Amino acid sequence: MTKTAAIIGGGVIGGGWAARFLLNGWNVRVFDPDPEAQRKIGEVLDNARAAMPGLYDMALPGEGELSFHESMTEAVQGADWIQESVPERLDLKREVYRQLQSACSEDAVIGSSTSGFKPSELQGGATRAGHIIVCHPFNPVYLLPLIEVVGTEANTPGFLDHAEGLLREVGLHPLRVRKEIDAHIADRFLEAVWREALWLVRDGIATTEEIDDAIRMGFGLRWAQMGLFETYRIAGGEAGMRHFIAQFGPCLEWPWTKLMDVPDLTDELVETIAGQSDAQSGQHSIRELERIRDANLVGMMRSLKARDWGAGALMNAHDKLLNATRRVPETLDDIADLARPVLTLDRAVPLDWTDYNGHMNEARYLQAFGDASDRLMMIVGCTTDYIASGGSYFTAETHIRHLDEVRAGARIRVETQVLLGAGKKLHLFHRMYEGDRELATGEHLLIHVSLETRRASDPAPQVAEPLARLAAAHATLERPKGAGAAVGPR
């Protein structure tokens, strides 16, 4: 059954929450009195549709229904999750909870995006205090997975477990904060860095761009995949963290930072920072900067994904969850009708698969068809275990026909027909589609080899027999248009 999220407050953060839920198949109901809310959320959704599917190697569910409502009580009807992202005023937030709890389901989770208030402050005077928690995200919510979950004694462990389970369903990483504290966890680090940065600008030590370079060219990349303590553990060499602390611990007593003090935000300092920041990135609009940011994050996080590390490991786990229905078969027994082309790929086109023309570059067509060939090999029994035992298929010849454009975010699928599957030869014909639109075809001739001799050899029975069954079933299909075609004038 499709779940429903209500978004109360449709600014940058609320729009990001809407995109995260919507693109994971939830229905989303929005309340925001801003007459521009629908346009603003629409622009955030455009960015999310281009970027978020590229995080995964499985296709996201079909989008849920997005609706905008005139009243808060109408918006929260039937909601499983309610995310409040209104301005940081405690009286306003409490009034929001009073209104929505008079209309929402009694078991709905009410999460607040607040970075400034503790949950005990939010729960004060609420009808059902135990259903209100802090769920503090990071922008953009549709890409960054961390959600700081903070509760109080009013929230039962079971309720918090339930809330965290829903967050995981949409690919987020709930970090339960053990005790409530001002600014939670992550923002306390950010505040410390921000204060130090203000001093460096004020004292003329560095410009805003130079400070940003220090982060993005150095420790920011390390932190992105290892965090603080693991980074320092490695800095300690083979002796580990103890050696690091022994070596660098004394510097904590040196006057390196001004974290116990903060410069006055005078008009002069504000103007200096604003001017430097405009010079640094003012040539780009905010939307352009968002798209640049999104493309960079996708590239970095996909790199982490390839190594099953940090946020990438979370995305791999989400891929498995998305493939729970096993739409793409893994064995011959998963195929209901052998006499049809086999679905061998179903995924979105990531941002980093596109070229200077704004569409998928030719190398990625080969990657997609190569992945489809790998899946067909696995289906007929040429699995990692089989390859480890000494047999595999090598590609001998490939011909790709580019029939139509495909852009970032498009959901593509590949259907594969076996033209020959006997002896040492495996002849495949792939068709790539977006919906009913045919995008490309790939024809591939593979040869079975012995990995010991690196020469052609017959496949073992556990591969030859399933392949023969599939090839015999596909022999009843019409020969596909374009099969055997050559490059150049006909």
User: Quick check: 119 and 87 in contact, CB under 8 A?
Assistant: no
The residues, ordered by sequence, that sit 6+ positions from 158 with a Cβ below 8 Å of its Cβ are none
Query: Is the bond into 137 cis (omega within 30 degrees of 0)?
Result: no
Cβ atoms < 10 Å from Cβ of 102: 11
Q: Is 13 annotated as a binding residue?
A: yes
User: Quick check: 375 and 341 in contact, CB under 8 A?
Assistant: no
| Alpha carbon separation from 152 to 116, 165, 184 (Å, rounded) | 16, 18, 13
| Alpha carbon separation from 221 to 56, 91, 409 (Å, rounded) | 21, 39, 26
d(Cα 413, Cα 289) in Å, to the nearest integer? 31
Helix (H) or strand (E) holding 149: strand 146-150
Q: Is 14 annotated as a binding residue?
A: yes
User: Quick check: 406 and 359 in contact, CB under 8 A?
Assistant: yes
Using the structure block, give the residue that is written with the tokens 């083979």: 238
441: which 2 tokens? 């075809």
DSSP string, 284-329: S-HHHHHHHHHHHHHHHHHHHHHTT-THHHHHHHHHHHHTTT--S-
d(Cα 433, Cα 49) in Å, to the nearest integer? 18
Nearest-CA neighbor of 351 among 310, 307, 301? 301
Q: Is 400 annotated as a binding residue?
A: no
**Region of residue 64 (phi > 0: left; psi between -120 and 50: alpha; otherwise: beta):** beta
d(Cα 311, Cα 288) in Å, to the nearest integer? 24
CA dihedral 10, 78, 22, 2 (to 10 degrees): 180
50: which 2 tokens? 């281009």
d(Cα 27, Cα 79) in Å, to the nearest integer? 9
Q: Is 10 annotated as a binding residue?
A: yes
Cβ atoms < 10 Å from Cβ of 394: 11
Q: Is 124 annotated as a binding residue?
A: no
B/e letters for 236-263, b = 16+ CB within 10 Å, e = fewer, are beeeeeeebeeeeeeeeeeeeeeeeeee
For 57-137, where are the alpha helices, taking DSSP H only? 72-75, 90-101, 119-123
Q: Is 423 annotated as a binding residue?
A: no
Helix (H) or strand (E) holding 456: strand 455-456
Residues annotated in a binding site: 9-14
Residues annotated in a binding site for NAD(+): 9-14
